[in-house]
Structure 1
Amino acid sequence: MPRVVPAVTRALDILELFLDHPPLSAREITERLGLPRTTVHELLVTLVARSYLISVPGQPARFRLGMPVLQLGAAFAGQLDLVREAQDVAQDVAAACDEAVHVAVLNGTDVIYLVKVDSTHPVRMVSAVGRRLPAHCTAVGKILLSSLDPTDLDTRLPDGDLPGMTPDSITDVGRLRAELDRVRAAGVAVDDGESDSAVRCVGAPVRDHTGATVAAMSVSAPIIRWAPASHAEWTRLVREGAATLSTRLGYRTPA
């Protein structure tokens, strides 16, 4: 098996310190990693020479991340394929709950489904990749609407009533705003028969490397299988699945 190079590992350990900490001095790096002072000095000299670390202006003994780190991150983000990554994660979530799993993005006031993994049950929901639905009627749509800044949300919502899909759809804008407040606080959203009277869904946000919510994932099931225990389990699974997909897209949970 190929040998891991200790010097490279230590250099990466130093760089990763800066993910959670402000500018650091050589002494602080030495204390946090427990490495010999001379080793840290040599690694810092190398990282500074390659501009992966730079001295803080006015504080030459303290260091921060340099431009090549940003360039590598941007290259990584550019290579990501949301659909491919979402399909892999959605399959894992669907296997765990044996219910339909969707991943969708926001387009205007609608959501578009990018990924669907179906359940193996004979009774299942009817949906398809590429389908467009009013965002406010769906769990994924509520997640995505709740992530918008107030000005953006205002421009998307009508002055009058919203269109409904079922008798349970939210059609009052004021009521929708209150619902979105609850979604932001809870970190999950529920479609309680609002897009299909026979179906219930729970959704969670998917974030990219910048922390922006770029998609949402949901677990959907016919009402005949929607019970308090299963709802709690599916909420846990969709949270974990959305978090896993976010990590694949470069999101890093704040320390």
Structure 2
Amino acid sequence: MGTTKQIESVSSVLKVFGILQALGEQQEIGITDIAQRLMMSKSTVYRFLQTMKTAGYVSQEGDSEKYSLTLKLFELGSKALEHVDMIALADRQMRSITKKTGEALHLGAFDDDAIIYIHKIDSRYNLRMYSRIGRRNPLYSTAIGKVLLAYRPEDEVRQILKNIEFIAHTQHTLKNLDAFIEELAKVRQEAVGEDCEEQEEGLRCLAVPVFDRFGVVIAGMSISFPTIRFDIARRDEYIAMLHEAAATLSSQLGYHDYPSYHHVTA
């Protein structure tokens, strides 16, 4: 039974993409034409088109049976392309820092109610942070998560995290939303997010924001250290390297007013 359902699901996905392709090849096309082209019943084509219309990917010409694509697929493709461009530009900056420090660099983006790693450069040391591209981590206990939210209005941050349970990954993890909001004020002032063993015992991270041409933080760039290799005396040096890299990347993305670093004493 499970195999049959899986085959049906795959078949349905293929039909959807077939309809999208047919719509993409012709500005306006009717149900009958699509059904004949794809060798599907008109009722099946109609059902899929109505679902895609509800989702916003297809528009219907009045009460006729003519359908066309909306710009929603273009918007999705543009977002993916933006990340691809950003990753290619970020790679050179990140590799430069890893070459100087030997430590791991990560690029993370906002994904619903978490961060997702979209690029990384591994540490040259055997003792290193475990990570992989595509891995998700909480916003509230990661340096990247902090810089991704620090420049958003407080009410928006509260809305994003309203259903999030603040799990104590370690004894250092922030305990609630109010504590997190308070932490974000410091992040904005320094233009630096810091994870002091909040996500994982024995691991520290520093992160800085990456801005797009509209001044919106679209990513965070971080450096990660096992605590035994983190030299607090070099903290400002690490931050300066990150800021230089992120400012260069932000400039390449069209933003030229990168914030200055102001050390905040505890």
Q: Same fold (TM over 0.5)?
A: yes
Aligned residues of 2:139 and 2:146 also touching (Cα < 8 A): yes
Q: Distance in 1 between matches of 2:173 and 2:197?
A: 7
Alignment of 1:34-183 (within 5 A): 81-158=85-162, 161-183=165-187
Q: Distance in 2 between matches of 1:172 and 1:80?
A: 34
Q: Distance in 1 between matches of 2:163 and 2:114?
A: 17
> Per-residue CA shift, 1:174-226, capped at 9, x if unaligned?
11110011111111011000111111011100001111111010110100011
Match of 1:217 among 206, 218, 221: 221
TM-score by length of 1: 0.66
**One-letter amino acid of the counterpart of residue 103, structure 2:** E
**One-letter amino acid of the counterpart of residue 218, structure 1:** S
Query: Unpaired runs of 5+ in structure 2?
Result: 1-80, 260-266
**One-letter amino acid of the counterpart of residue 197, structure 2:** G
> Per-residue CA shift, 1:12-34, capped at 9, x if unaligned?
xxxxxxxxxxxxxxxxxxxxxxx
**One-letter amino acid of the counterpart of residue 177, structure 2:** V
Cα 1:187/1:222, change in 2 over 3 Å: same
> Per-residue CA shift, 1:136-194, capped at 9, x if unaligned?
11001000011212332121122685223222111211111100111111110110001
Query: Unpaired runs of 5+ in structure 1?
Result: 1-76
Aligned residues of 2:247 and 2:258 also touching (Cα < 8 A): no
1:199 is aligned to 203
Q: Distance in 2 between matches of 1:167 and 1:214?
A: 30
Instruction: Quote how far apart the aligned CAs of 1:85 are.
Output: 1.3
Q: Distance in 2 between matches of 1:187 and 1:79?
A: 22
Q: Distance in 2 between matches of 1:207 and 1:181?
A: 18
Q: Distance in 2 between matches of 1:194 and 1:137?
A: 5
2:256 is aligned to 252
